[in-house]
Amino acid sequence: MLEDWPAELDASARCLFLSDPPSGLRAVLVLDDLTLGPAAGGIRTRSYPSLRDAVRECSALARAMTLKCSIAGLDAGGGKLVVLDHPGLDRPRAFARLGELVEELGGLFRTAGDLGTTAADLDAMAATCRFVHADETGLAAAVARGLLRCIEACAEGQGHSLRSLSVGVQGAGAIGSAVTGALVAAGLRVYVADLDAKRAERVAREHGATVIEPAHLLKARLDVLAPCAVGGVIGADEARGLRVWAVCGAANNILSDDEAGAVLVERGIAFVPDPVASAGAVIAGIGRSVMGLPDPTPLIDALGQVARDVLRESAASGEPTPAIAARLAQRRLERVRARLRARAGK
C-alpha cells in the first residue's frame, strides 16, 4: 500500500503494480478510462525517487492519454506504463516478461514506446505480446505530421506565413528528430537542442537544422517553441521568460502547473495543449489496430482544426487552452457514458 496515495490518480482509474524479481522488473500500469475502448499509452522507462513518484507521473500521463484519445475521436481510453529503471534491471528479460504480463490483459491495454524505452526493449516485449506497436519510426512520423498541422493553426491565428517561422525543438530523440525533419521539409527554420550534444548535432546535420544550446532555448527569440522531450518544462517562471509567440510541442504534460497556462494567456502566447499537438502517434496506432482504418492520416490532419478551435476560444474568453481541450474531451466522454447507461437500462 502507498502511504500517501497520489491525488492525481482518479478514483475510477485502475492501477496495477507489475514485478518480476528474477529480471528486476518493477513497473506501474495505470488504466485511466475505458469508456471509449481499450486504454492506449506508451511505456516510459526512467528512475524515480520513490514508487509514489512513479505512480504520480504514470497517472498524470494516463489522464493526458484519455483526453488525447477523446479529443482525437478515437475508440480508446487512456493508459500509461512506467518501468522503474535501476542498476539491477535486466532489460531484455524484464521487457520480455512485461510483454507477457500485458498480453494477459487480452488487449485491454495497447502500448508503444516513450521516453527512455528503446527499440530493443520494444522488440523484446513484442516477442511475447501482440499489443505492442514497435514501429517507432512510423509513430514518430505521425506525431510530426500532427504537430505540423497544429503549428499551421498557430501561424494562421497570428497572420504569419508558415515558411517564415523559426522553431526551437527541444529534444533530439525519435520524436524530436521526426519533428525537426518535417518542419525543415515544410520550409521552416529549425533550431534543435538536446542534453546529448552529439545527438543534437546528428539530427541537425541529417535534416538541415541548426543546433542551439539547451540552456539558451527557453530564452531564445524565436517564433515557436516545440518541447519534444520530457514534460513539465514550462512553469510560471519559464512562461514569463519566453520570447516566442507560440508553444506547440509533442512532449506530454508540457506545463508543470496551471499558473503557467494562465501566464501564457496573459502574455498572448498561443499554446496548443499537448493532448492535441502530440496525438498523431496514438491516432496512427489505434486508428489501424482498434478502429480498422486503412488510412488514419485524415484524423491526424484534423488535429489542425481542433487546434484552431481551441486557440480561437482561448483568445475570445481568456481561458487557458488546456482547460478548453479538457472540457471538449470530457464532453465526448460524457456523451458516450450517457449512451452506455441508456443502453444498459433498456
What pLDDT, on the 0 to 100 scale, is given for residue 95? 98
Please tell me the distance from the alpha carbon of residue 334 to that of residue 278, in angstroms, as a whole number. 23
State the Cα–Cα distance between residues 149 and 297, nearest whole angstrom.
11
pTM higher than the cut 0.85: yes
Assess if residue 6 is contained within a domain. Answer: no
Check residue 9 and give its pLDDT: 52
Considering the domain architecture, whether residues 162 and 300 belong to the same structural domain is answered as yes
Co-location of 126 and 224 in the same domain:
no
Q: What is the pLDDT of residue 141?
A: 95
Contact assessment for residue 224 and residue 166, using Cβ atoms and an 8 Å cutoff:
yes
Question: Among 115, 126, 106, 123, which residue's Cα sits nearest to residue 170?
Answer: 115
Question: Can you give the residue range of the structural domain that contains 317?
Answer: 138-330
Catalytic residue, candidates 80, 198, 219, 346: 80
Extract the runs of DSSP E, i.e. beta strands, from the chain.
Answer: 14-20, 25-31, 39-40, 43-46, 77-84, 109-112, 132-133, 166-170, 189-193, 210-211, 224-227, 246-247, 270-271
- 208 and 249 inside one domain: yes
> What is the reported pLDDT for 320?
96
- The answer to whether residue 342 is domain-embedded is no
- 80 tagged catalytic: yes
pLDDT at residue number 2: 44
- What pLDDT, on a 0 to 100 scale, did the predictor assign at position 3? 44
126 and 113 fall within a common domain: yes
CATH number at residue 145: 3.40.50.720
Residues 102 and 174 in one domain: no
Beta strands of 113-240 (E only): which ranges? 132-133, 166-170, 189-193, 210-211, 224-227
DSSP H/E element including 66: helix 51-71
Residues 184 and 119 both lie in one domain: no
Q: Are strands 132-133 and 166-170 parallel, antiparallel or unpaired?
A: unpaired
User: Are 128 and 273 part of one and the same domain?
Assistant: no
| Mean pLDDT per 10-residue section of the chain, whose length is 346 residues | 49 85 98 96 96 94 94 96 97 98 97 93 97 88 97 95 96 96 98 97 98 96 96 95 97 93 96 96 94 95 97 96 96 94 81
CA gyration radius, the chain: 19
Residue 337 lies in a domain: no
Counted domains in the chain: 2
What cell was used for 190?
Answer: 529549425
**Orientation of helix 91-103 relative to helix 119-126, angle to 10°:** 50
Residue 1 lies in a domain: no
Question: What pLDDT, on the 0 to 100 scale, is given for residue 8?
Answer: 52
Domain membership flag for residue 225:
yes
* CATH code of the domain containing 32: 3.40.50.10860
Measure the CA–CA gap between 55 and 8, rounded to whole angstroms.
Answer: 9
What residue has cell string 514497435?
A: 134
Instruction: Examine the domain organization and report whether 25 and 130 are in the same domain.
Output: yes
CA gap 54, 73 in Å, rounded: 29
Q: Cβ-count burial of 107 within 10 angstroms (0-12 exposed, 13-18 middle, 19+ buried)?
A: middle
Q: What is the pLDDT of residue 10?
A: 55
- Residue 230 shares a structural domain with residue 114: no
